[in-house]
Amino acid sequence: MALNEGPFHSHDFTKLSVRDAYRILVASIVPRPIAFVSTVDENGVTNLAPFSFFNGVSSNPTCIVFSCSRMPDGSKKDTLRNIEATGEFVVNTSEEAIAEEVNAASAAYPHGVSEFAIVGLTPLASTWVRPPRVAESAIHMECRLEKIVEIGEDSPGGSSLIIGRVLGMHVADRVLAEGEIRYEKLKPVARLGRDEWLRGGEVFRLRRPQIAAHDLPADRPSEKK
């Protein structure tokens, strides 16, 4: 239930349903990049699923994190089960050209069924880990499990934060210009709230500010150099 605080709707998250809290959260943290995660189970069967609670978190060691929530019945998703069993995964980029396939791979197929074949994407052998990469994605991050941080209980909405150490990356020539990865060439898609996605957008540049001595307040002479 929303309170009215002047021009704001204010939501007390201690009283909100899990569903309502989720809806407000995902519409507020936007746009979210989508990790397209490939794993294998203990028998080598491949699995593929998208995760938008995803980001880079450290550069030394280079680590990424994504969040894998519990299923509505409280059980673990295949991606988490596979990573717990093998300690390895690959994060592939989600781009405009494969947005339909990324979305299709999010269907709850039973354990042991490979989304690669079902959604029509091509497995490509990895260099440092067993799970294959997605050939159609332009960027692949081969990861070894660093740590799993549990959030909440084994209940709907409870999640495992999967932190992966990036062992190596592959970047397709087609997204490079002068050796740099270019957003305009990568054409990533991102998640918004509801069932909305984002593509495109306007790129602009800002220089990082440099603090000059004359910018500091006069009453803090010790910080002047």
Ligand X SMILES: Cc1cc2nc3c(=O)[nH]c(=O)nc-3n(C[C@H](O)[C@H](O)[C@H](O)COP(=O)(O)O)c2cc1C
User: Which positions lie near ligand X, rule CB under 6 A?
Assistant: 34, 47, 49-53, 67-69, 77-79, 103, 106, 108, 191
Point out which residues pair with 125 in neighbouring strands: none
Strands 8-11 and 123-124: unpaired
Which of 3/117 has CB closer to ligand X? 117
Is residue 212 exposed (0-12), middle (13-18) or buried (19+ Cβ within 10 Å)? exposed
Least distance to ligand X from the beta carbon of 222, Å? Answer: 46
Are the C-beta atoms of residues 147 and 160 closer than 8 Å to each other? no
The torsion angles phi and psi of 73, rounded to 5 degrees, stand at -85, 5
Specify the residue, 108 or 177, whose C-beta has the smaller distance to ligand X: 108
Which residue lies nearer to ligand X by CB, 156 or 171?
Answer: 156
Report in angstroms how near the CB of residue 120 gets to ligand X at its nearest: 16
Rounded Cα distance between 57 and 64, Å, is 5
Least distance to ligand X, CB of residue 136, Å: 16
Nearer residue to ligand X within complex by CB, 108 or 218: 108
Residue 206 in tokens: 């800002």
How far apart are CB 59 and ligand X at their closest, in Å? 22
- The residues that bridge with 147 in the sheet, in sequence order, are 163
* C-alpha span between 129 and 167 (Å, rounded): 9
CA-CA distance, 147 to 216, in Å (whole number)? 42
CA distances from 186 to 136, 144, 181 (A): 12, 24, 7
Cβ 82 to ligand X shortest distance, Å:
8
State which residue, 115 or 142, has the beta carbon closest to ligand X.
115
